[in-house]
Amino acid sequence: MKVGFFRKSVLSMLLIMATGILFSIASCSYIKSHTTASFHATPLQFAVMSDLHLSKNNEGPIFKAALAEIKKMNAASDLPIKYVVMNGDKVFNHATKNPLTPDQYQAELEKYFLLVSSGVQGADIKFLINRGNHDGHFNNDMPDAMHAPYIAKYKEMLDKYKHLLAGYDYRQLNNHVILEGISFVKLDFAADPAVPVSKVADIAWLQGIKKDLRPKAIFFGHYPAFSATSAGYPMGNSDAFLDYLAETGNRLYFSAHDHVFNHAVLEKKDASGKVLATVQQFNTPDMAAGTFSRDWAKKHFAKQPGDWTARIAGPDAYLDKIQGFYIVKVTEQETEVTFYKKTATGFEKGYRAVIK
């Protein structure tokens, strides 16, 4: 009898311990720091868009059509698209073509949010938005102090329309948001006196969030690490940024600014040519069309300082003068990126890449 009682006691203790372990695992998603949570097992879908360049000459017809297309996809799918990342240049503040005062900039930005509000009406879709070079002072080479009045208006609009946004701190320009177990890292870019002609990613801020990154983390920034259209377009410290991605085991970066669609493989090699690290960069094309469209120009990517190089992922991994958006599906096993290109009648499913 004593042996039986002992066995029952041990089984009871094990059951209590197991229940506690299961509770701890289930509670991980609520712990925001100093933990390494398991990846959320449920698949997630989100969209990535960029370079709307809203202005008096562009009321956003492609953007509106894209939101309508996403709502149509959701109506026909068991896995809805829950988030849209807008990766910079929502409006068009330009020194010669469309110079805006801070108040005029605010009015254009409000038009953008009204488009979002009407476009997602009746749907459970939230936005994450990023700042591009036209989302500040119209002369992007000016010191950051010149951007301050525009940034103040930007934050004011983020606060006013925060009900449309996936919960991040609108007071900060860089943001790390954990959505359903996935880290969404949104990069802002600032001037650096040491790199006067380019904007740079804030590596110190990135180091500060390293301990909080989930096992799956996806990075977004307006400037590409390698540009497909101009040697002057990439971020000024791409080498340091890519080293950070390699160091933290993250391999996916969505960029914009080039106004072209392409998928690039960024590689760091040793002296013998052995690949030490790889990052997949997906550049998001514009959603403005017309004079905003650019060609990839059949050039390979301009060499950046450091040990990283870039190559196009394949013969169908780029398109000239095209508009569209990405749909990204994340599961435990892989991340699937599909490009939907604009056609005369709507959007057509096109290039697809799977990242294991």
The answer to whether the beta carbons of residues 186 and 130 sit under 8 Å apart is: yes
Spell out where 138-286 has E strands: 175-179, 182-187, 189-192, 195-201, 217-221, 252-255, 261-269, 275-283
Read off φ and ψ for residue 84, nearest 5 degrees.
Answer: -125, 125
What is the per-residue pLDDT for 168?
Answer: 67
Range of the domain at 51: 40-355
pLDDT-above-90 percentage for the chain: 51
What is the per-residue pLDDT for 95?
Answer: 57
Q: Is the pLDDT of residue 84 over 70?
A: yes
- Strand order of the sheet with strand 44-49? 126-130, 81-87, 44-49, 324-330, 335-342, 347-355
Domain count of the fold of the chain: 1
Q: Is the pLDDT of residue 190 over 50?
A: yes
Rg of the chain over all Cα atoms, to the nearest angstrom: 22
What is the CATH classification number for the domain harbouring 99? 3.60.21.10
The answer to whether the beta carbons of residues 283 and 260 sit under 8 Å apart is: yes
Q: Does 107 fall in a domain? A: yes
Q: Which two tokens stand for residue 38?
A: 């398991």
d(Cα 260, Cα 161) in Å, to the nearest integer? 29
Q: Does 24 fall in a domain? A: no
119 Cβ contact list (under 8 Å, min separation 6): 63, 64, 67, 68
DSSP code of 58?
A: B
Q: Is the pLDDT of residue 133 over 60?
A: yes
Q: Does 15 fall in a domain? A: no
As a dihedral over the C-alpha atoms of residue 161, residue 166, residue 168, residue 174, rounded to 10 degrees, the angle is -100
The answer to whether the beta carbons of residues 224 and 258 sit under 8 Å apart is: yes
Q: Which two tokens stand for residue 258?
A: 């080039």
Q: Does 48 fall in a domain? A: yes
Q: Does 22 fall in a domain? A: no
Q: Does 296 fall in a domain? A: yes
Q: pLDDT tens across 219-254, in order?
A: 999 999 998 887 778 898 999 999 999 999 999 999
pLDDT mean across residues, the chain: 82
Q: Does 241 fall in a domain? A: yes
